[in-house]
Copies of this chain bind each other. A is one copy, B any other.
Amino acid sequence: MADASFIAGDWGTSHLRLFLCDGDGRILERADAAGAAAAAGRFANLFDDLVAPWQQRGGPLPAVLCGMVGSSIGWIDAPYVPCPAVPEQIAAACVALRDGAIHVVPGVSCRNRLGAPDFMRGEETQILGALHLDPTLRRGQRLLCLPGTHTKWVALQDGVIVEFLTGLTGELFALLRDHSVLVQRTGELDPVSAAAAFKQALARFNEFPQAQLLHRLFECRARRLAGELTPLTAAGYLSGLLIASDIGGALRLLPPAGNAHSVHLIGDSQLTQLYALGLAAQHYTATALEGTAAALAGLAQVYRQLTQRLVANAVH
């Protein structure tokens, strides 16, 4: 454990992922547990239990944590940094626990394109990581998309988060799949026919991009009644409708600058593949970065900046 330098933690609502890292942010070991929703009030104990083996072997290690752990119902409230949010500002706004042994990354807030308040927490760290892993993102205007329970569409200007927009895509999909009349899945999904239904929905949505999602959803049921979908393919069709609506709606509100027809996806690789298909159906190209890798790179980046600040303070 000679190389162990710090602990990086991605502590979201549903999952906690802790990584023991060396000075360059390379993973030496990892530990997983249930997320902030299950932690309710026991953040310190949970954290100490998980990192105890590492601390025992490697001595006291600093930690950088991001995600819902920093929310008002988390371990400590790390207030949102308002847009425009400069990457270095986000790291500098970390909130310290235990005399600075633990740093919690703040979320980012904005007033979005629709005039509504909007918030992210966790995604800002993935964005910091993406900016480190792909420095070209620091130049000019870029559009990022972080698909998930609450999909974030993020406009960057020279590496600064200038605004973003949240789609309820993942949460709505799960609700409609599990609780509505639309899907009523009764057996095992056939991936091939579900994928075909997904692509069909993408194409159909694009025929009437001005339609509201509300008027397309019943299709999942009506096409089953008409024999055009089965209970097993309706979930794929529903997923296609939601992702097409998310992409079409977001690109109309936050069009990429100039002639750029490229979107940078960050997230779970299965999900970014679906979004890449959706973007292609709307004549956009996509690059994809795996979400956990991005979060880890972001946490390492924050750790580096905090260390440099400590060193600078010690020198002066």
Q: A212 and B166 in contact (CB under 8 A), knowing A116-B222, A116-B223?
A: no
Given contacts A115-B207, A118-B222, A211-B252, 6 further A-B contacts (CB under 8 A): A114-B216, A115-B204, A168-B180, A168-B217, A208-B253, A215-B246
Q: Is A56 in contact with chain B by the CB < 8 A criterion?
A: no
Q: Which B-chain residue is minimally distant from A165 (CB atoms)?
A: B215
CB-defined contacts of A215 to chain B, threshold 8 Å: 114, 165-167, 246, 249-250, 253
Q: Is A218 in contact with chain B by the CB < 8 A criterion?
A: yes
Q: A222 and B117 in contact (CB under 8 A), knowing A180-B168, A215-B166?
A: yes
Which residue in B150, B204, B207, B245 is a CB contact (below 8 Å) of A212? B245
Which residue in B175, B222, B246 is a CB contact (below 8 Å) of A214? B246
Q: Mark A162-189, 1 if CB is under 8 A from B, else 0.
A: 0001111101100110011110000000
Copies in the complex: 2
Q: Is A2 in contact with chain B by the CB < 8 A criterion?
A: no
Some 18 contacts from A to B, beta carbons below 8 A apart, are A114-B216, A114-B219, A115-B208, A118-B222, A119-B225, A168-B182, A168-B217, A171-B181, A172-B180, A179-B179, A208-B253, A211-B249, A211-B253, A212-B213, A212-B245, A212-B246, A213-B214, A214-B246
Q: Is A226 in contact with chain B by the CB < 8 A criterion?
A: yes
- Min CB gap A296→B, angstroms: 26
Binding site for B on A (CB under 8 A): 113-119, 150, 165-169, 171-172, 175-176, 179-182, 204, 207-208, 210-219, 222-223, 225-226, 228, 242, 245-246, 248-250, 252-253
Bound complex: CA of A211 vs CA of B314, how far in Å? 51
- Min CB gap A212→B, angstroms: 3
Bound complex: CA of A253 vs CA of B211, how far in Å? 7
CB-defined contacts of A165 to chain B, threshold 8 Å: 215
Q: A169 and B214 in contact (CB under 8 A), knowing A176-B175, A180-B175?
A: yes
- Min CB gap A303→B, angstroms: 28
Q: Are B249 and A212 in contact (CB under 8 A)?
A: yes
Q: Are A222 and B172 in contact (CB under 8 A)?
A: no
- Min CB gap A248→B, angstroms: 7
Which residue in B117, B171, B211, B252 is a CB contact (below 8 Å) of A180? B171
